[in-house]
Chain A
Amino acid sequence: EAGVTQFPSHSVIEKGQTVTLRCDPISGHDNLYWYRRVMGKEIKFLLHFVKESKQDESGMPNNRFLAERTGGTYSTLKVQPAELEDSGVYFCASSQSGLAKNIQYFGAGTRLSVL
């Protein structure tokens, strides 16, 4: 069974440009999460989808970030326009429905560098 996949693995863009990150969760997982790790800091929660609905977007930094999960399958995270402080590793995770203590399975992340 395929795990969580993220694309691209690495993206280098200039300040002011737009970047879209994609996450394909494990098939059948209703819960999808986005996290970000800025270099030298802890991983931070961004948002949580249940199917196509945003359950919690309290961690989204500002309105330059837009996450979607049309049809409740894959998700995209768009940063527009990108700023230098957006650089970091963006992780996606998915988990089964049911108990909140279910394991969150992670992708390998997208490393975003904003120059």
Chain B
Amino acid sequence: ILNVEQSPQSLHVQEGDSTNFTCSFPSSNFYALHWYRWETAKSPEALFVMTLNGDEKKKGRISATLNTKEGYSYLYIKGSQPEDSATYLCAFSNAGNNRKLIWGLGTSLAVNP
């Protein structure tokens, strides 16, 4: 069974706080890990695609790390802003079917001004 677990399920922080979420995935047959940012009624927006163990990617105040051996990825947001409020979704694909994304439930982030 291929499961993707995300924690926490939801998070409330104050503007300016830094925060991080976790995505756990099966480490065997790993191919790629995707992070998306999703606001309801809008298109999920791709943040990062990572494939290599130890990969670190950064986009503005958001960064992500990847550990394929132990099967986890962290997403960090530095100095959260109200506009960061959204659901952050991770999805992984395995080498057996590397285009089919398997998703976690997401972490819902609310940033209070």
Contact = CB atoms under 8 A, between A and B. Distances in A.
Interface residues of A, number: 29
B99 A33 contact: yes
A100 B98 contact: yes
Interface in A78-115: 91, 95, 100-109, 111
Which bracket fits the contact residues of B? Answer: 20 to 34
A44 interface: yes
Interface in B4-37: 4, 31-32, 34, 36
A12 interface: no
Interface of B: 4, 31-32, 34, 36, 41-46, 49, 51, 89, 91, 93, 97-106
The 9 A-B pairs with the shortest beta carbon distances in the complex, nearest first, are A100-B98, A43-B103, A101-B32, A106-B44, A42-B103, A103-B46, A106-B43, A108-B43, A45-B100
